[in-house]
Protein backbone atom coordinates (compact mmCIF):
# COMPACT_ATOMS: atom_id res chain seq x y z
CA UNK A 1 0.00 0.00 0.00
CA UNK A 2 1.48 3.34 -1.08
CA UNK A 3 1.11 6.80 0.48
CA UNK A 4 -0.85 8.10 -2.51
CA UNK A 5 -3.29 5.20 -2.23
CA UNK A 6 -3.83 5.78 1.47
CA UNK A 7 -4.31 9.52 1.06
CA UNK A 8 -7.11 8.87 -1.41
CA UNK A 9 -9.07 6.69 1.06
CA UNK A 10 -11.77 8.04 3.39
CA UNK A 11 -11.15 8.14 7.16
CA UNK A 12 -13.52 5.25 7.78
CA UNK A 13 -11.45 2.95 5.54
CA UNK A 14 -8.21 4.09 7.17
CA UNK A 15 -9.62 3.19 10.57
CA UNK A 16 -10.63 -0.25 9.28
CA UNK A 17 -7.13 -0.81 7.95
CA UNK A 18 -5.68 0.25 11.27
CA UNK A 19 -7.89 -2.29 13.02
CA UNK A 20 -6.66 -5.09 10.69
CA UNK A 21 -3.04 -4.11 11.45
CA UNK A 22 -3.78 -4.15 15.21
CA UNK A 23 -2.87 -0.47 15.56
CA UNK A 24 -4.12 1.49 18.57
CA UNK A 25 -5.78 4.71 17.37
CA UNK A 26 -6.12 7.61 19.84
CA UNK A 27 -9.21 9.79 19.61
CA UNK A 28 -7.21 12.92 18.77
CA UNK A 29 -5.07 11.19 16.07
CA UNK A 30 -5.03 13.16 12.85
CA UNK A 31 -5.52 11.72 9.38
CA UNK A 32 -1.83 12.32 8.45
CA UNK A 33 -0.58 10.60 11.63
CA UNK A 34 -2.85 7.61 10.96
CA UNK A 35 -1.44 7.27 7.42
CA UNK A 36 2.13 7.40 8.81
CA UNK A 37 1.31 4.65 11.32
CA UNK A 38 -0.16 2.49 8.55
CA UNK A 39 2.89 3.00 6.31
CA UNK A 40 5.21 1.99 9.16
CA UNK A 41 3.09 -1.11 9.85
CA UNK A 42 3.14 -2.10 6.17
CA UNK A 43 6.92 -1.62 5.97
CA UNK A 44 7.41 -3.80 9.03
CA UNK A 45 5.20 -6.51 7.54
CA UNK A 46 7.28 -6.40 4.35
CA UNK A 47 10.55 -6.84 6.25
CA UNK A 48 9.12 -9.80 8.17
CA UNK A 49 7.96 -11.52 4.95
CA UNK A 50 11.37 -11.05 3.32
CA UNK A 51 13.13 -12.43 6.39
CA UNK A 52 10.85 -15.48 6.41
CA UNK A 53 11.35 -16.13 2.68
CA UNK A 54 15.13 -15.91 3.03
CA UNK A 55 15.02 -18.34 5.95
CA UNK A 56 12.95 -20.86 3.96
CA UNK A 57 15.32 -20.55 0.99
CA UNK A 58 18.34 -21.09 3.20
CA UNK A 59 16.77 -24.19 4.76
CA UNK A 60 16.04 -25.68 1.30
CA UNK A 61 19.57 -24.98 0.08
CA UNK A 62 21.06 -26.63 3.16
CA UNK A 63 18.81 -29.67 2.74
CA UNK A 64 19.74 -30.32 -0.89
CA UNK A 65 23.41 -29.54 -0.32
CA UNK A 66 23.55 -32.39 2.20
CA UNK A 67 22.08 -34.83 -0.34
CA UNK A 68 24.51 -34.23 -3.20
CA UNK A 69 28.29 -33.77 -3.05
CA UNK A 70 29.77 -30.52 -4.21
CA UNK A 71 31.31 -30.84 -7.66
CA UNK A 72 34.19 -28.87 -9.00
CA UNK A 73 32.82 -26.82 -11.94
CA UNK A 74 36.03 -27.48 -13.86
CA UNK A 75 35.25 -31.22 -13.85
CA UNK A 76 32.41 -30.66 -16.33
CA UNK A 77 34.81 -29.37 -18.98
CA UNK A 78 37.51 -32.02 -18.60
CA UNK A 79 37.39 -34.95 -21.02
CA UNK A 80 37.60 -38.40 -19.40
CA UNK A 81 41.05 -39.95 -19.56
CA UNK A 82 41.11 -43.69 -20.32
CA UNK A 83 44.32 -45.69 -20.10
CA UNK A 84 45.72 -47.05 -23.34
CA UNK A 85 46.11 -50.47 -21.67
CA UNK A 86 45.31 -52.13 -18.35
CA UNK A 87 48.35 -54.45 -18.25
CA UNK A 88 46.42 -57.68 -17.81
CA UNK A 89 45.85 -60.85 -19.79
CA UNK A 90 42.40 -60.53 -21.32
CA UNK A 91 40.36 -61.20 -24.45
CA UNK A 92 36.89 -59.80 -25.16
CA UNK A 93 34.55 -60.14 -28.11
CA UNK A 94 31.68 -57.83 -29.12
CA UNK A 95 29.15 -58.73 -31.81
CA UNK A 96 29.12 -56.18 -34.63
CA UNK A 97 26.50 -57.83 -36.86
CA UNK A 98 25.23 -61.41 -37.36
CA UNK A 99 28.41 -62.50 -39.16
CA UNK A 100 31.23 -60.39 -37.68
CA UNK A 101 32.53 -59.57 -34.21
CA UNK A 102 35.17 -57.23 -32.82
CA UNK A 103 37.91 -58.94 -30.76
CA UNK A 104 40.15 -57.06 -28.31
CA UNK A 105 43.07 -58.63 -26.43
CA UNK A 106 45.90 -57.60 -24.14
CA UNK A 107 48.96 -59.28 -22.59
CA UNK A 108 50.77 -58.34 -19.39
CA UNK A 109 54.03 -56.62 -20.26
CA UNK A 110 56.11 -58.59 -17.77
CA UNK A 111 54.82 -61.89 -19.22
CA UNK A 112 55.53 -60.82 -22.78
CA UNK A 113 59.03 -59.61 -21.88
CA UNK A 114 59.75 -62.95 -20.22
CA UNK A 115 58.49 -65.04 -23.15
CA UNK A 116 60.43 -63.12 -25.77
CA UNK A 117 63.61 -64.24 -23.99
CA UNK A 118 62.53 -67.90 -24.31
CA UNK A 119 63.81 -69.49 -27.57
CA UNK A 120 60.87 -71.92 -27.59
CA UNK A 121 58.29 -69.10 -27.68
CA UNK A 122 56.45 -68.99 -31.04
CA UNK A 123 53.92 -66.18 -30.59
CA UNK A 124 50.35 -65.42 -29.60
CA UNK A 125 47.27 -67.13 -31.00
CA UNK A 126 43.52 -66.59 -30.70
CA UNK A 127 41.62 -69.86 -30.67
CA UNK A 128 38.08 -69.46 -32.00
CA UNK A 129 36.05 -72.19 -30.25
CA UNK A 130 32.71 -73.24 -31.75
CA UNK A 131 29.89 -74.85 -29.71
CA UNK A 132 26.42 -76.14 -30.54
CA UNK A 133 25.10 -74.83 -27.21
CA UNK A 134 26.41 -73.53 -23.88
CA UNK A 135 27.90 -76.12 -21.53
CA UNK A 136 28.55 -78.58 -24.36
CA UNK A 137 31.79 -79.93 -25.80
CA UNK A 138 33.66 -77.88 -28.36
CA UNK A 139 32.74 -78.92 -31.91
CA UNK A 140 35.77 -77.41 -33.60
CA UNK A 141 38.22 -74.56 -33.35
CA UNK A 142 40.69 -72.71 -35.51
CA UNK A 143 43.66 -70.56 -34.46
CA UNK A 144 44.47 -67.04 -35.63
CA UNK A 145 48.00 -65.64 -35.09
CA UNK A 146 47.88 -62.15 -33.59
CA UNK A 147 50.48 -59.40 -33.06
CA UNK A 148 52.31 -59.06 -29.76
CA UNK A 149 50.78 -57.14 -26.84
CA UNK A 150 47.43 -55.38 -27.03
CA UNK A 151 45.40 -55.24 -30.20
CA UNK A 152 42.05 -55.64 -31.92
CA UNK A 153 40.63 -57.08 -35.13
CA UNK A 154 37.37 -58.15 -36.73
CA UNK A 155 36.49 -61.84 -36.69
CA UNK A 156 34.17 -63.66 -39.08
CA UNK A 157 31.77 -66.08 -37.40
CA UNK A 158 31.52 -69.01 -39.88
CA UNK A 159 28.33 -70.77 -38.75
CA UNK A 160 25.09 -68.86 -37.97
CA UNK A 161 23.27 -70.13 -34.90
CA UNK A 162 26.41 -71.49 -33.20
CA UNK A 163 28.02 -70.31 -29.97
CA UNK A 164 31.59 -68.97 -29.96
CA UNK A 165 34.24 -68.27 -27.33
CA UNK A 166 37.77 -67.01 -27.82
CA UNK A 167 40.87 -68.21 -26.00
CA UNK A 168 44.11 -66.27 -25.97
CA UNK A 169 47.13 -68.63 -26.06
CA UNK A 170 50.89 -68.24 -25.88
CA UNK A 171 52.45 -70.86 -28.18
CA UNK A 172 55.69 -72.66 -27.31
CA UNK A 173 57.44 -75.55 -29.01
CA UNK A 174 56.02 -78.15 -26.64
CA UNK A 175 52.91 -76.51 -25.19
CA UNK A 176 50.13 -73.97 -25.62
CA UNK A 177 49.36 -71.85 -22.53
CA UNK A 178 45.85 -70.41 -22.29
CA UNK A 179 46.09 -66.85 -20.94
CA UNK A 180 42.48 -65.67 -21.06
CA UNK A 181 39.05 -66.72 -22.29
CA UNK A 182 36.10 -64.62 -23.42
CA UNK A 183 32.46 -65.14 -22.55
CA UNK A 184 30.31 -67.29 -24.85
CA UNK A 185 28.57 -65.40 -27.65
CA UNK A 186 25.78 -66.56 -29.97
CA UNK A 187 26.11 -65.91 -33.70
CA UNK A 188 22.50 -65.06 -34.67
CA UNK A 189 20.79 -67.65 -36.87
CA UNK A 190 20.59 -66.84 -40.57
CA UNK A 191 17.11 -65.77 -41.68
CA UNK A 192 15.51 -66.89 -44.97
CA UNK A 193 15.85 -64.58 -47.96
CA UNK A 194 12.09 -64.26 -48.32
CA UNK A 195 10.60 -62.48 -45.26
CA UNK A 196 7.47 -64.65 -45.53
CA UNK A 197 9.57 -67.76 -44.84
CA UNK A 198 10.82 -66.49 -41.50
CA UNK A 199 9.63 -68.54 -38.50
CA UNK A 200 7.01 -67.33 -36.06
CA UNK A 201 4.95 -65.23 -38.47
CA UNK A 202 1.16 -65.24 -38.13
CA UNK A 203 -1.07 -65.57 -41.21
CA UNK A 204 -1.92 -61.91 -40.88
CA UNK A 205 1.72 -60.92 -40.92
CA UNK A 206 2.38 -63.08 -43.97
CA UNK A 207 -0.56 -61.41 -45.76
CA UNK A 208 0.80 -57.99 -44.82
CA UNK A 209 4.18 -58.91 -46.34
CA UNK A 210 2.43 -60.08 -49.51
CA UNK A 211 0.71 -56.73 -50.05
CA UNK A 212 3.68 -54.63 -48.91
CA UNK A 213 5.83 -55.49 -51.93
CA UNK A 214 8.69 -56.65 -49.73
CA UNK A 215 9.65 -59.34 -52.25
CA UNK A 216 10.55 -56.61 -54.74
CA UNK A 217 12.93 -55.04 -52.23
CA UNK A 218 14.96 -58.13 -51.46
CA UNK A 219 18.61 -57.74 -52.44
CA UNK A 220 19.98 -61.02 -51.12
CA UNK A 221 18.29 -63.55 -53.37
CA UNK A 222 21.37 -63.95 -55.55
CA UNK A 223 23.94 -64.64 -52.87
CA UNK A 224 27.61 -64.80 -53.66
CA UNK A 225 28.94 -68.15 -52.56
CA UNK A 226 31.41 -67.82 -49.70
CA UNK A 227 34.94 -69.05 -50.23
CA UNK A 228 35.62 -72.42 -48.58
CA UNK A 229 37.46 -72.50 -45.28
CA UNK A 230 37.90 -69.71 -42.76
CA UNK A 231 38.67 -66.16 -43.97
CA UNK A 232 40.96 -65.60 -40.96
CA UNK A 233 43.44 -68.22 -42.16
CA UNK A 234 45.85 -66.07 -44.11
CA UNK A 235 49.62 -66.19 -44.50
CA UNK A 236 51.87 -69.18 -43.98
CA UNK A 237 51.08 -69.91 -40.31
CA UNK A 238 51.33 -73.64 -39.64
CA UNK A 239 48.71 -74.54 -37.03
CA UNK A 240 48.68 -78.32 -37.53
CA UNK A 241 50.67 -78.90 -34.34
CA UNK A 242 47.90 -77.26 -32.29
CA UNK A 243 44.82 -78.54 -34.17
CA UNK A 244 43.88 -81.22 -31.66
CA UNK A 245 40.15 -81.22 -32.50
CA UNK A 246 39.02 -82.44 -35.91
CA UNK A 247 37.21 -79.90 -37.99
User: How many whole angstroms separate alpha carbon 118 and alpha carbon 122?
Assistant: 9
- How far from the centroid of its chain's Cα atoms is residue 20's Cα? 62
Domain ranges in the chain are: 3-70, 85-188, 193-219
Listed residue (180, 154, 169, 167) closest to 95, CA to CA? 154
Query: Looking at residue 125, what is its pLDDT?
Result: 93
Q: Read off φ and ψ for residue 209, nearest 5 degrees.
A: -70, -35
Maximal C-alpha separation, the chain: 121
Q: Which pLDDT tens digits describe the chain residue by residue (247 residues)?
A: 677 787 788 888 878 888 887 887 777 788 888 788 888 888 888 888 888 888 878 777 776 666 656 666 665 666 777 777 788 999 999 998 888 999 999 999 999 899 889 999 999 999 999 999 999 999 999 999 988 778 889 999 989 899 999 999 999 998 999 999 999 999 988 777 777 777 778 888 888 877 877 666 554 445 555 555 555 544 444 545 444 433 3
C-alpha separations of 79 from 84, 201, 203 in Å:
15, 48, 53
CA distance 88 to 1: 76
CATH superfamily name and code, 85-188:
Immunoglobulins (2.60.40.10)
Amino acid sequence: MTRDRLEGLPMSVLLELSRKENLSVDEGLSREELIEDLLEAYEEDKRERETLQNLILKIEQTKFASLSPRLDPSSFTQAPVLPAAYDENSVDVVLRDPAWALVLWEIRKKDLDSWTQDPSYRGLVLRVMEYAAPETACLTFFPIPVPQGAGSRYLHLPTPGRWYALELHAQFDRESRMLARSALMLAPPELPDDPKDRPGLTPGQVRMLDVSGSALCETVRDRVAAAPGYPQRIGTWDDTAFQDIAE
